[in-house]
Chain A
Amino acid sequence: NAGVTQTPKFQVLKTGQSMTLQCAQDMNHNSMYWYRQDPGMGLRLIYYSASEGTTDKGEVPNGYNVSRLNKREFSLRLESAAPSQTSVYFCASSAWADGNSPLHFGNGTRLTVT
């Protein structure tokens, strides 16, 4: 029972390159999320998917796109990476996006954009 699995764990990109962060959960959760965390900072919501087939913007969506591929998988794409996107990215899932269900986080992807 892996919980929430993110790949890759580390990535270095050059400005302008693109990449996709992958996330999968095996808890049969309906809702999935992408957060970013800058050094010494809190968690900021990028995008979320309340249920399969839906996606919504969070607090800081600019420069990102997401795809809810199926109930298990939720990917985050950077089309043209910028140094400001250097951060740690966490995927999370919960039973429902109702503000009551606890979140389960993946181990994170540490992204550096040079």
Chain B
Amino acid sequence: GQQVMQIPQYQHVQEGEDFTTYCNSSTTLSNIQWYKQRPGGHPVFLIQLVKSGEVKKQKRLTFQFGEAKKNSSLHITATQTTDVGTYFCAGGGNAGNMLTFGGGTRLMVKP
């Protein structure tokens, strides 16, 4: 079955440093979605990428979908303490399969 791996599992950064999390699928995806979960909160949908090579930006966050539609990344420029949380990617399969979530990357930011 479809598997989605996410690395790293944890990341500590100093406030102001950049951060990147990577998502890799064992199969070609129809789309990739990213979610953020604040500590003690619930996952919240951030963005969806559909096209091969697509790049989308939300303020300091840059999302990329790989050319082969099997990998994706989320890059945060100049992290802030408000960026703290766990970032999940979730991939949709081409056969209309359910979303498969990666294990998440927990970001901790030292002020």
Give the B-binding residues of A (Cβ under 8 A).
Answer: 40-43, 45, 48, 90, 97-100, 102-108
The segment from B43-51, B57-65, B68-76 found at the interface with A is B43-51
Interface of B is mostly: strand
- B101 near A105 (CB under 8 angstroms)? no
In the assembled complex, which residues on chain B have CB atoms less than 8 Å from the CB atom of A40?
106
Return the contact of A99 from the options B30, B41, B104, B106 (Cβ within 8 A). Answer: B30
CB distance from B12 to the nearest CB of A (A): 15
- B92 near A100 (CB under 8 angstroms)? yes
Residues of chain B at interface, number, CB under 8 A: 25
The residue in chain B whose Cβ has the minimal distance to the Cβ of A88 is B42
- A107 near B42 (CB under 8 angstroms)? yes
The residue in chain B whose Cβ has the minimal distance to the Cβ of A108 is B42
- A99 near B42 (CB under 8 angstroms)? no
CB distance from A2 to the nearest CB of B (A): 13
The residue in chain A whose Cβ has the minimal distance to the Cβ of B42 is A105
- A106 near B42 (CB under 8 angstroms)? yes
Give the A-binding residues of B (Cβ under 8 A).
Answer: 30-31, 33, 35, 41-45, 48, 88, 90-93, 96-104, 106
- A90 near B98 (CB under 8 angstroms)? no
Known contacts A41-B103, A100-B30, A100-B92: does B43 contact A105 (CB below 8 Å)? yes
- A42 near B102 (CB under 8 angstroms)? yes
In the assembled complex, which residues on chain B have CB atoms less than 8 Å from the CB atom of A100?
30-31, 48, 92, 96
Interface of A is mostly: loop
In the assembled complex, which residues on chain A have CB atoms less than 8 Å from the CB atom of B104?
42-43
Q: Can you spell out 20 A-B residue pairs with CB atoms less than 8 angstroms apart?
A: A40-B106, A42-B104, A43-B43, A43-B101, A43-B104, A90-B42, A98-B98, A99-B30, A99-B31, A99-B91, A99-B93, A99-B96, A100-B96, A102-B33, A103-B45, A105-B43, A105-B44, A106-B42, A107-B41, A108-B42
- B99 near A99 (CB under 8 angstroms)? yes
Return the contact of B43 from the options A45, A98, A99, A103 (Cβ within 8 A). Answer: A103
CB distance from B104 to the nearest CB of A (A): 5
